[in-house]
Amino acid sequence: MNARFLKFLALLILLVVSSTSNLPVVEAGFGITPPYVRNSSLTRNSTYEQQILLVRSDTSIPQKAEITVDAPEILEWIQIVEGDEIKMPVGVQKVPMTVRVSVPDDADFSEYEGSIRIRTLPDGDDLAAGAVSISLGALVDIKLSVIDRQIRDFRIRQISVPDLNEGTKAAWLFFPGKIRFDMLLENTGNIDISPSEVEFRIFDRTGKVLLEETSNLGKIDTVEPYGTDTITAEIPTRLPQGTYIARYKIYNDDEVKQEGDLTLNILPDGSVQVAGFGFAGLSVAHKVSVLLPIFAFMIALIYLVHSLRSNKSRRRK
Amino acid sequence: MYTRDELPQYVKTAGKVTVFTAFTGLLVFMVAFIFDLGNKEINQALAQNSATTTLRVLNTPPVFDVLPYEIIGSSTTTPTNSGDTVSWGAVATDSNGAPYFMIVCSTADAPTANSNAGTLGTAPPACEAPGAIQWGVSASTTSGDPVVVSTTTVDRNDSGGGSFTESNEWYAWVCDDDINSPQCSLSSQGAFATSTSPFNVNSRPELTSAPNDSPALPGDPFNFDTVAEDDDTDGEADTLFITVCDTNTLYSTSTNSCSDFRASSTVGTLTDPTVPYTVPVPTQDQSYQAFVYVRDQHGHEALAPIQSDFIVANATPTVQDTSINMSGIGGPGSDLTLTILAGETPSSTLTFEVLDDNSCLNFDSDPEISEVGISIFRSPFRATTTCSSTNASHYDPNHCYTSAQPPSSWDLVCTASSTSCAGAGDTSIEYSCTFPLWFVADPTDFGPFAGDDWVAAVQGADDNFATGTQTTTAFPRTLEQNLGLESVEGQIAYGDVAPGDISGNGLNLHATSVIVNVGNTALDQQVAGQSMCSTFSPSTLCPVDETSTIPAPRQRFGTSTFLYLGPETEELSSSTPVTLEIDLAKTTSTSTPNPATTYWGIEVPNEITFAGDYTGLNDFVAEVDQSFSP
């Protein structure tokens, strides 16, 4: 290397050092997400949980988070599930903190506020001697409302439809294919809820020709207040194997909460190891054709038993 | 009555008769001599000079027991297609028990019965009358046996087809070939409905050309057209139909269809039949072989099909909004969360399905979808204008992430599923992606962007560079606030201070602590702290000792270099945290977090007698400044 190159290298290093020297050299960092516990539709006796992640930037030292609830009015309602001190071991960058709000049955219908103060400390007594060390923390904002009315509402966060088998015929009975329409539902109200109806309009592949209109059979599982869960609507289809465009609508009573298009793949019977519809999926005519003979037989049986008993009693007399 | 007187007159008359008779005799003799008349009979008479009587019973012709009929009756509505055979059947007997022939001619003129000096049944009759066409003559048939006469029809456009018109009269006879006196019966034109004369011949339609108006997209129709006509008009003009097959080898003229059938018309037209064809979904984009067949209403095809290959156009990939699912680190369907301070939070996910009507595989069995464009942004921005996946300049880690950026800026990783494409019959292919979000990404749960959402928009591009429009997900997500701060220095350095003095040998706050905003909210700073002593530790607080413990309130702080005892400064408290309105704005630069400095001062009480290192711990607790504006 010649002298000119060495000069250039030195200049470059000088430039780099000078350009970065203005950046803050960060010692430690702490944060929380989300920084709040909020619910505006609590009811008496309800329980609401909010998970808050405690995050830090330096995972090389063990730390602990000290938690102090500052909410005099509702102190008894609030519980930190993990306890008032949460360990943050070496190597762990984030830990959950669960705030559980349990509304008592005599709570006033009102708005409540407060905060949760979190501060981090070395998990031990290691502090630099002869200095004022800095402990970082964050404040969780609490805003709660207890109300005296039921809110029945939800939000669909995701939907999916796995492939399904086409319907099958057994003797004269046609058992339709079963569309399993999965919905990730977030209950944004304060009572158990599920969609009141899921409606499918199934079109051909081009989306131009309507082939079938159908809706869910049976009840759909409910989701608890403030919870998010996957529920499934079971929808019969009599279409043969093929690919279709389905336009769905998810109802909350009369309100359409979600609608959209999706691709529906119906496979030959037996392709998917999922049970299809049983008796419930039969058409009304087919149901009648099964039930009527059974009822007739039962009536005949009852009549026969009744006749035999009558004859016996007559003979005794 | 004889009278003697008239004798001379008698002699004169007799003389004339004699002369006349002699002359006549001479004349007869000369004629017989010249034409050799009666030679045969004379010879026979000479040979049978011993017979006393002669009788010759003349031959009689065969007769129809079952009148002739067309075995497959043809009519104007059910004509015989050219090239097919017309056959006549009948039963006849010959009184001599001789074999017989059936002959079918086009005119009523009796055919010529022939004979052969050899065996019987070897000299069929012939239609020899002027203008007569001989449709056919049977082989020699035993008397009483059924006879069949056949002729193969010829299209009028073919060589030799001139004999056959649309309607052809026929007359049938049964004849023998008696050696001495061959005879034919009376003619018959049949008597059984459509099996009677005439027979009808249906000639082929003429197919001149077969264009089509492709290219067409899958799901769209186009027409197979033809230039074709049919001159048959007997009864009514023939109507024409079209059938399209993939090849020219699987067409059946008996069913007028093919196993590789694509389309056919159901309503006939007098000329130029056409049929619409809708390209199935999915169909790969390429040229497809097709052969067009034209037939008339009687199922008679034009001489040969014409190849009419069609082109399926390249469809633009699409994405259904319901298939786009963006999730945070909390799992499917979860909101977006930032957990890395001053950096990128990895592992948010995005799944979606790209649809292509040309299928997920191209003709070479390679993926049809070659590329995807993705942008993830806060909802007031738009994929088409302000956060496009094709415009790198739109990138802004606060609100717009676009795949137009190189991975060094935004490490979006997308993988096409190896199993979701089930072959050429499948339109979709699934993608799953992971992507990071910078700590400055705007929150949408609370604050100035509350009400907005984060959404993902996706577009697919295929192997022909057709790029779909960006589709925005039907399931927007909230990006949660992340309240985060970092301390630039780990300590507050007051330096050496003598009892009774204020740090810094002055009246103003001089020590500093700097925090930087490493979250995505604006923040204020809550401050609290403990008394200082030489034995302090978080678990062992300082004793209440005025000679060795510096009480917390002796530390004062403010947002500037205020006078230590000035009204702008705050006393440190161990029990009542003080919120310092530092109004630290949300950081917008990924490389330069917004800093805030707190200024500190300490007064060592006069009572302190212990000289040495004092240790303390002050808390900086971040609090969201909900009033901040972007």
- pLDDT one-digit tens code per residue, A82-130: 999 999 999 999 999 999 999 999 999 999 999 999 999 888 777 777 7
**Residue A14, pLDDT above cutoff 90:** no
Q: How confident is the model at residue B33 (pLDDT cuts 50, 70, 90)?
A: low
Q: How far is A156 from chain B (nearest CA, A)?
A: 8
Torsion of CA B169, B172, B178, B180, to 10 degrees: -50
Give the pLDDT confidence score for residue B134 in this predicted structure: 95
Domain ranges in chain B are: 4-47, 63-202, 206-311, 318-472, 485-624
**Residue A22, pLDDT above cutoff 50:** no
d(C-alpha B590, C-alpha B594), whole Å: 10
Query: What are A61-72's pLDDT values in tens digits?
Result: 899 999 999 999
Give the pLDDT confidence score for residue A12 in this predicted structure: 38
Q: How far is A131 from chain B (nearest CA, A)?
A: 5
Q: How confident is the model at residue A25 (pLDDT cuts 50, 70, 90)?
A: very low
**Residue A276, pLDDT above cutoff 80:** no
User: Are residues B490 and A31, on separate chains, in Cβ contact within 8 Å?
Assistant: no
Fold that domain B206-311 belongs to in CATH: Immunoglobulin-like (2.60.40)
**Residue B518, pLDDT above cutoff 50:** yes
**In the block, residue with structure tokens 């994929």:** B383
d(C-alpha B356, C-alpha B459), whole Å: 11
User: Are residues B621 and A228, on separate chains, in Cβ contact within 8 Å?
Assistant: no
Q: How confident is the model at residue A10 (pLDDT cuts 50, 70, 90)?
A: very low
**Residue A310, pLDDT above cutoff 90:** no
Q: How far is B90 from chain A (nearest CA, A)?
A: 53
d(C-alpha B558, C-alpha B568), whole Å: 6
User: Are residues A24 and B325, on separate chains, in Cβ contact within 8 Å?
Assistant: no
Give the pLDDT confidence score for residue B42 in this predicted structure: 47
Give B494's contacts in chain A (Cβ within 8 Å): 132
The CATH number of domain B63-202, selected from 2.40.128, 2.60.40, 1.10.3470, 2.30.130:
2.60.40
**Residue B341, pLDDT above cutoff 70:** yes
User: Are residues A139 and B355, on separate chains, in Cβ contact within 8 Å?
Assistant: no
Architecture in CATH for domain B485-624: Sandwich (2.60)
User: Are residues A263 and B355, on separate chains, in Cβ contact within 8 Å?
Assistant: yes
Q: Please provide the DSSP assignment of B443-473 as one string.
A: P-SSSTTBTB-EEEEEEEEETT--BPPPEE-
d(C-alpha B498, C-alpha B605), whole Å: 9
Question: How many A×B Cβ pairs under 8 Å?
Answer: 214
**Average of pLDDT values for B595-612?**
91
**Average of pLDDT values for B501-507?**
77
Q: How confident is the model at residue A282 (pLDDT cuts 50, 70, 90)?
A: confident
**Residue A56, pLDDT above cutoff 60:** yes
Residue of B333, B342, B612 with shortest CB distance to A228: B333
Q: What is the pTM of this model?
A: 0.79
Give A129's contacts in chain B (Cβ within 8 Å): 534, 613, 615
d(C-alpha A112, C-alpha A91), whole Å: 37
- Between the CA of residue A178 and those of A217, A249, B263, B342, B448, what are the distances in Å? 10, 17, 33, 49, 46
Q: What is the mean pLDDT of chain A?
A: 87
**In the block, residue with structure tokens 């959950």:** A96
Strand partners, B87: B150
Q: What is the mean pLDDT of chain B?
A: 89
Give the pLDDT confidence score for residue B540 in this predicted structure: 86
Give the pLDDT confidence score for residue B39 in this predicted structure: 52
Percent with pLDDT over 70 in chain B = 91
Give the pLDDT confidence score for residue A19 in this predicted structure: 35
* Residue at A94: amino acid letter: K
Decide whether A28-126+133-146 matches A154-277 in CATH topology.
Answer: yes
Percent with pLDDT over 90 in chain B = 69
**Average of pLDDT values for B274-302?**
95
CATH superfamily name and code, A154-277: Immunoglobulins (2.60.40.10)
**Residue B254, pLDDT above cutoff 70:** yes
Q: How far is A149 from chain B (nearest CA, A)?
A: 24
- In a 13 Å sphere around the CA of B319, the CA atoms on its Cβ side amount to 30
Give the pLDDT confidence score for residue B9 in this predicted structure: 64
**Residue B46, pLDDT above cutoff 70:** no
Q: How confident is the model at residue B194 (pLDDT cuts 50, 70, 90)?
A: confident
Residue A127 sits at the chain B interface (C-beta within 8 Å)? yes
- Closest-CA residue to B356 (of B341, B366, B342): B366
Decide whether B63-202 matches B206-311 in CATH topology.
Answer: yes
**Residue A138, pLDDT above cutoff 70:** yes
Q: How confident is the model at residue B21 (pLDDT cuts 50, 70, 90)?
A: low
Flag the least confident range among A142-151, A245-254, B84-93, B150-159: B150-159
- In a 13 Å sphere around the CA of B147, the CA atoms on its Cβ side amount to 32
Give A119's contacts in chain B (Cβ within 8 Å): 619, 621
Q: Please provide the DSSP assignment of B166-199 as one string.
A: SEE--EEEEE---SS---B---B---SGGGSSPE
**Residue B18, pLDDT above cutoff 70:** no
Q: How confident is the model at residue B52 (pLDDT cuts 50, 70, 90)?
A: low
Give the pLDDT confidence score for residue A270 in this predicted structure: 84
Give the pLDDT confidence score for residue B332 in this predicted structure: 92
Give the pLDDT confidence score for residue B201 in this predicted structure: 94
User: Are residues A139 and B320, on separate chains, in Cβ contact within 8 Å?
Assistant: no
Give B447's contacts in chain A (Cβ within 8 Å): none
Task: Provide the strand spans (E) within A147-227.
Answer: 154-160, 164-165, 168-170, 173-175, 177-187, 197-203, 210-215
Q: How far is B527 from chain A (nearest CA, A)?
A: 10
CATH superfamily name and code, A28-126+133-146: Immunoglobulins (2.60.40.10)
Measured CA angle at B377 (ends B374, B380), to 5 deg: 130
Give the pLDDT confidence score for residue B590 in this predicted structure: 93
**Under 8 Å between Cβ of A179 and A239:** no
Q: How confident is the model at residue A278 (pLDDT cuts 50, 70, 90)?
A: confident
Residues 6 or more apart whose Cβ sits within 8 Å of residue A266: A163, A164, A165, A166, A177, A237, A239, A240, A241, A242, A243, A244
Residue of A132, A141, A159 with shortest CB distance to B492: A132
d(C-alpha B521, C-alpha B482), whole Å: 7
Query: What are A192-212's pLDDT values in tens digits?
Result: 999 999 999 999 988 889 999
Give B446's contacts in chain A (Cβ within 8 Å): 36
Give the pLDDT confidence score for residue B504 in this predicted structure: 74
Give the pLDDT confidence score for residue A6 in this predicted structure: 44
Q: How confident is the model at residue A273 (pLDDT cuts 50, 70, 90)?
A: confident
**Residue B344, pLDDT above cutoff 80:** yes
Give the pLDDT confidence score for residue B3 in this predicted structure: 54
d(C-alpha B622, C-alpha A30), whole Å: 9
**Average of pLDDT values for B112-130?**
90
Taking only residues 151 to 170 of chain A, the set having a beta carbon closer than 8 angstroms to any beta carbon of chain B reads: 156-159
CA-nearest residue to A54 within chain B is B339
Give the pLDDT confidence score for residue A92 in this predicted structure: 95
Residue A244 sits at the chain B interface (C-beta within 8 Å)? no
User: Are residues A138 and B623, on separate chains, in Cβ contact within 8 Å?
Assistant: yes
Copy the structure tokens of residue B609. 């007698």
Return the HEC string of B514-579.
EEEECCCCCEEEEEEECCEECCCECCECCCCCCCCCECHHHEEEECCCCECCCCCCEECCCCCCEE
Query: What are A220-230's pLDDT values in tens digits?
Result: 999 999 999 99
d(C-alpha B41, C-alpha B504), whole Å: 174
Q: How confident is the model at residue B207 (pLDDT cuts 50, 70, 90)?
A: very high
**Under 8 Å between Cβ of B146 and B158:** no
Q: How far is B399 from chain A (nearest CA, A)?
A: 18
- DSSP class of residue B238 equals P
Query: What are B431-468's pLDDT values in tens digits?
Result: 999 999 999 999 999 989 999 999 999 999 999 999 99
| Dihedral sign, Cα of residue A187, residue A188, residue A192, residue A195 | negative
Copy the structure tokens of residue B142. 């035993």
- DSSP class of residue B139 equals P
Chain A interface test: which of B329, B485, B535 (most A C-beta within 10 Å): B485
| Dihedral sign, Cα of residue B61, residue B63, residue B69, residue B71 | negative
Q: How confident is the model at residue B628 (pLDDT cuts 50, 70, 90)?
A: low
Residue A231 sits at the chain B interface (C-beta within 8 Å)? no
Domain ranges in chain A are: 28-126+133-146, 154-277, 284-309
